[in-house]
Amino acid sequence: MELGYYPGCALHGTSNDYEDSVRACLDALGVGLKEVNDWICCGATAAHSINHKLSIALPARNLALAERDGFGEILAPCPMCSMELLKAAGLMKTDGALRQEMGRIVELPCEGRTTVLNLIQVFQKVGIENIKAAVKRPLEGLKAACYYGCLLTRPPETLRFDDCERPSSMEAVVAALGGATVEWNYKTECCGAGMTMANEDIVLDLSHKILTNAAAHGANCVVVACPMCHVNLDMKQADIERRYSVRHGMTIYYLSDLVGRALGLTDEALGINRHFVYGG
Amino acid sequence: MMAAAADELRVAECYQCGKCTAGCPVAARMDRMPNQIVRQVQMGDLEGAMASAAIWECVSCQTCTTRCPKSVDCAGVMDMLRALSAERPSPAQERHHTILFQHAFLKNIRRHGRLNELELVGTFKTAVFAKNLAVPFLFKDAMLAPKMAQRGKLKLAGGSVRDREVVGRIFDRCLRGTDS
């Protein structure tokens, strides 16, 4: 299977461990990724906070580029990007006047016909049963708290993915890998997302609550499918521990880390050894 | 124009059940609750709503919008208020870190097409320092840099976009509000 690939800024920056993980893991599953030619930033929170039109135009340009490259489906492993792309695609499909206007603004026609997939959806396309059959090292002893955060499922009208209050798609993947998951309360709570630099207080507070709740329900790791969730729970974990005088010591995995490990890939190949909390 | 935006966000539908506030992860620290902000907008008091620091503490998690029983787009109301106050910034608002960060972010992607993280850190910290003269903030997280470098997470330059000029033109057309 070959998919178009929209890495987004995070995966080409601080979260390049996520990119290593996604590429290595999907390669092992026989999924080829072809980067959208000359993609640009989706605009993220800054664009939708400051200029509504820009928050449609930036993802629309990327959708137009994907269409020009002939991609029917693209993977956007960052939920911020995939949400922005899906929102723009929905508008391009339903609002003819806006589609015309955007075509002029982004200098390319954009029909919004590209299917945008998150990482979990790519695993579903590969087939959970096929993944299960490919497992070489079952994840024994793993008790994962699957953490979805905000934008994998919200807003549900845009995302149309899983149950926005009680999602379970990541649990199905972990179960196929031979790992256990815990039921907990903070699956869809926000970690503070893009506030990491602008308002660290919020990030430390919300992420501390998430880590505390995961541990209280017996989890020995948290699994994410979002670069911002990983930054806040992993990179900021030492700051959280300092602020609240606690020791979390919680390993945070990308979902692709776990799939890759179960398929027999090394931590180095998956970039797991580059996480801030790394116990081997 | 704002009345139209408020219509689209279904602000008139709000009957003050407070579900938005109940699920908001940052309501406890806000100077005004999300349901109160929706009420202000409903009453036409945009200036009052824009003056609230809460709109800059909203993390855009979409929980309020998702759970509203009347389908009011509460997170969209926050976006509308932020966009409005970004158009007419007051000195007090400009000091707010979130605004400075978002402006630095957009300036960065306009210039490079993709985010250049190191440059963003520099621009943002300089902007905050210029407003607040807060030295500790300038050096905050400086200790993180070597740890990030050790993990191969610090890049001196972001990826390159071949057609960067088009990004500038897209920005111009959107910010000017015309598509010519």
pLDDT digits (tens, 9 = 90+) for B123-167: 888 888 887 777 777 777 777 888 888 888 877 655 678 888 999
Report helix, strand or coil for A197: coil
Average pLDDT over every residue of A60-69: 98
| Same domain membership, residue B117 and residue B75 | no
Tally Cβ neighbours within 10 Å of residue B136: 6
Query: Number of folded domains in chain B?
Result: 2
The pLDDT tens digits for B158-168 are 567 888 899 99
Chain A residues inside the 8 Å CB shell of B114? 9, 12, 39-41
Distance CA B178, CA B180 (A): 6
Question: Which CATH number goes with the domain that contains B64?
Answer: 1.10.1060.10
| Same domain membership, residue B108 and residue B172 | yes
Distance CA A217, CA A225 (A): 20
Contact yes or no for B115 and A195 at CB 8 A? no
Distance CA A38, CA B161 (A): 5
Whether residue B1 is predicted with pLDDT greater than 50 in this model: the reply is no
Q: What is the per-residue pLDDT for B154?
A: 79
Task: Judge whether B153 is closer than 8 Å to chain A, CB to CB.
Answer: yes
Distance CA A212, CA B77 (A): 32
Average pLDDT over every residue of A154-168: 96
What are the helix (H) ranges across B13-143?
19-23, 34-42, 46-50, 63-67, 74-87, 91-94, 97-112, 117-132, 135-139
Chain A residues inside the 8 Å CB shell of B167? 40
| Same domain membership, residue B112 and residue B83 | no
Distance CA B46, CA B48 (A): 5
More confident residue, A195 or A31: A31
- Tell me the pLDDT of chain A averaged across its residues: 96
- With residues binned 3-state (H G I as helix, E B as strand, rest as coil), the percentages for chain B, rounded to 5, are 65, 0, 35
| Same domain membership, residue B170 and residue B152 | yes
| Same domain membership, residue B82 and residue B99 | no
* pLDDT band (50, 70, 90) for residue B118: confident
The pLDDT tens digits for B39-81 are 999 999 999 999 899 999 999 999 999 999 999 999 999 999 9
Give the closest residue to B59 by CA, choosing from B85, B23, B94.
B23
Which B residues in the span 36-55 are in contact with A, Cβ-Cβ below 8 Å? none
Contact yes or no for A49 and B82 at CB 8 A? yes
Tally Cβ neighbours within 10 Å of residue A52: 16
What is the pTM (predicted TM-score) of this model?
0.94
Contact yes or no for A198 and B174 at CB 8 A? no
| Same domain membership, residue B119 and residue B78 | no
Q: Set out the domains of chain A in order of their start, with CATH numbers.
A: 2-119 (1.20.1050.140), 128-274 (3.40.50.11810)
> Choosing among B85, B123, B170, B178, which should be mutated to test the A contact, i.e. which has the most A CBs within 10 A?
B170
| Same domain membership, residue B123 and residue B68 | no
| Same domain membership, residue B80 and residue B45 | yes
Distance CA B114, CA A148 (A): 25
Give the domain extent around B17: 2-88
- Tell me the pLDDT of chain B averaged across its residues: 88
Distance CA A99, CA A177 (A): 43
Chain A residues inside the 8 Å CB shell of B29? 201-202, 205
| Same domain membership, residue B115 and residue B97 | yes
| Same domain membership, residue B97 and residue B84 | no
Distance CA A101, CA A97 (A): 6
Which range among A169-178, A205-214, A252-261, B85-94 shows the weakest confidence by mean pLDDT? Answer: B85-94
Distance CA A194, CA B67 (A): 22
